[in-house]
Amino acid sequence: MIQRILLVIIFIVITFVLLYAYQKVKIQSDVGTKSFYDESFEVIDIDGNPIDFQEFKGKKLLIVNVASKCGFTPQYEALQELHEKYQEQLTIIGLPCNQFANQEPGSLEEIKEFCSLNFGVTFLMTEKVDVKGENQHPIYQWLTSKEKNGLKSSTVKWNFQKYILDENGYLIDVFYSMTKPMSSKITKHLSEK
């Protein structure tokens, strides 16, 4: 009798897990969500070279708006640590932005030099972009719109807001500036190698 009850319980649990997984996939397909990789985003790296986002398929992406003169600027160090520890499965993309209290006023060369000298940054950095407003970059239009990313809408509140995407280019979650790059909220999505 007890074995029969346990089998029923196990069957119910497995059924709920499968239904949850199916529902998550169905929600994304119902809203017509396109993967990040289905879009044709145009952005150049900090050295002026076009970025081919297709190169990152199969890895998770952490997209972060960054600034050199912000209270959160020391997060560059933890972003670099995250990059070094998980670079086989994660690509970090830092997008400089000057929309929050003019905390990224420098040229691309100045930003690159600042990041390199002060934090040893080697992860991918891009040109300056707008993360909100009338000139919001298409990457951030996708990241902040549930209709486009299929998961949730958000507003970029400040510098060092983080968006993590899965290996197929679907949004997993959004983390505000207070979430440190090495937080378990982020690293739980990565496995140690």
Candidate list 61, 62, 66, 70, residue with the active-site label: 70
> Count of CB atoms within 10 A of residue 177's CB?
19
- pLDDT of 30: 47
- pLDDT of 79: 98
- pLDDT of 25: 55
pLDDT along the chain (193 residues), means of 10: 80 73 54 82 96 96 97 98 97 98 96 97 98 97 96 97 97 97 96 60
108-119 and 75-86 helices, crossing angle to 10°: 80
Please indicate whether residue 97 is annotated as part of the active site.
Answer: no
What distance in Å separates the CA atoms of residue 149 and residue 39, rounded to the nearest whole number?
Answer: 11
- Whose CA is closest to 85, among 62, 64, 63? 62
- For the chain, which residues make up each domain, given as ranges? 1-30, 36-187
Q: Which fold has domain 36-187?
A: Glutaredoxin (3.40.30)
- pLDDT of 163: 98
Unique residue bearing structure tokens 């089998």: 7
First-residue to last-residue Cα distance in the chain = 44
List Cβ neighbours of 155 (8 Å cut-off, separation of 6 or more). 132, 144
How crowded is the C-beta side of 46, counted as CA atoms within 13 Å? 22
- pLDDT of 14: 82
3-class state of residue 157 by DSSP: coil
Q: Give the pLDDT confidence of 45-59 residue by residue, as tens digits.
A: 999 999 999 999 999
Q: Give, in order, the Cα–Cα distances in Å from 166 to each of 70, 91, 138, 172, 187.
A: 28, 11, 19, 6, 13
Q: What is the pTM of this model?
A: 0.83
- pLDDT of 54: 95
Q: Give the pLDDT confidence of 151-181 residue by residue, as tens digits.
A: 999 999 999 999 999 999 999 999 999 999 9
